[in-house]
Amino acid sequence: MSVVEFGGLCRALFRNDVGKPYHLDARKLAEMFSVFDKNEDGYLDREEFKMCWSKWIKTIVRPVSAFLIVDVQNDFINGSLAICNFQAQQKGEEVVPVINEALDTIKFDVVVYSMDWHPNDHLSFVTNVLKYPLHPTSPVKAEEAKTCDKVVYDGDPIKEQILWPPHCIQDSWGAELHPDLKIVDGALWIKKGHNPEIDSYSAFFDNAKISDTGLSRQLRQRGVTDVFVCGIATDVCVGATATHALDEGFRTILVDDACRGVCTDEIEKLKQNIMKANGVVINSTEVKSMVQGRDRRPELGYKLAMRLQETSQ
């Protein structure tokens, strides 16, 4: 298969659910071809195409999907850290019917619920700021710190921390998932932020990426290729989770209308960063056709090809 023929293959491959082809960037097309052209002769021989088929095309047309529902908990909706009280004034409860509709109508291979699960003495709580030593570079002194201030805690490593009201305390009402959120059988559960000395926004790692939750391993054990991320808050825990999903090599999709966030500018910045990293941002109405492999995005194909290149080196 020549470069020209590979381009024709990609134009047939990357189409939406009604058969309209997506635009293909010429540079990225050439980079994807080079991933499979191992001997660099400008042609995919039988063995090279077999690898292209088994490692790349099969994933694109038959993805294995995980629906990752991040922190749809009472405290973020109408409790101590309700996001409606922040700059964007978004209502966290609005994600619930969107998520429920997706769970009712789409057959995901894996469903994951993540939850903040903090002890009373967690360092992210503004009420605990005097309990942990601050680094000399901290822009705010402990005695003057208020909610939403950023401090720098001493330690190895030193840790930047935004201070929040006490929230999602283990076994409290605030830590419970919203009562109207649909819970499916056989889901994976990730509880994060239980180490009092470091915060954990992402469902994959703590904020310093020192320890992991085991989620990446569990998804790989189940053959997951595509991670659809939603929940609260877009520019905090959802964003950290999507970013780490990309870092871990998963084809990552942010379901925009199933998320609500804190700061308008930060929400937009997060979405732009996801797209720059070859993730995609979609509406929930587009999820089903992507899960079924009928809507095939070139960004995700490129992301997979680059991952294959990384892992083969």
pLDDT in tens, 195-208: 999 999 999 999 99
Three-state secondary-structure class, residue 309? helix
- Helices (H) and strands (E) counted in the chain, each on its own, are 11, 8
Tens of pLDDT, residue by residue over 22-77, are 999 999 999 999 999 999 999 999 999 999 999 999 999 999 999 999 999 999 99
- For residue 136, give every residue at least 6 positions away whose Cβ sits within 8 Å of its Cβ, in sequence order, or none: none
- For residue 149, give every residue at least 6 positions away whose Cβ sits within 8 Å of its Cβ, in sequence order, or none: 126, 140, 162, 163
Q: For residue 294, which amino acid is it?
A: R
Mean pLDDT over residues 186-200, rounded?
97
pLDDT-derived band at 87 (thresholds 50, 70, 90) equals very high
Mean pLDDT over residues 10-24, rounded?
96
Residue-level pLDDT at 128: 97
Mean pLDDT over residues 4-14, rounded?
96
Give me the chain's average pLDDT, please: 97
Give CA–CA dist 95/258, Å, rounded.
5
Residue-level pLDDT at 156: 87
Mean pLDDT over residues 239-251, rounded?
98
Superfamily for domain range 65-120+166-292: Isochorismatase-like (3.40.50.850)
Mean pLDDT over residues 258-280, rounded?
98
pLDDT-derived band at 229 (thresholds 50, 70, 90) equals very high
Mean pLDDT over residues 263-289, rounded?
98
Asked if pLDDT for residue 247 goes beyond 80, the answer is: yes
Token pair 């057959």 is found at: 107
**Active site residues per annotation:** 71, 192, 237
**CATH 3.40.50.850 region(s) of the chain?**
65-120+166-292
Asked if pLDDT for residue 313 goes beyond 80, the answer is: no
- For residue 138, give every residue at least 6 positions away whose Cβ sits within 8 Å of its Cβ, in sequence order, or none: 151, 152, 153
Asked if pLDDT for residue 301 goes beyond 80, the answer is: yes
Mean pLDDT over residues 109-113, rounded?
98
- For residue 294, give every residue at least 6 positions away whose Cβ sits within 8 Å of its Cβ, in sequence order, or none: 17
Mean pLDDT over residues 216-221, rounded?
98
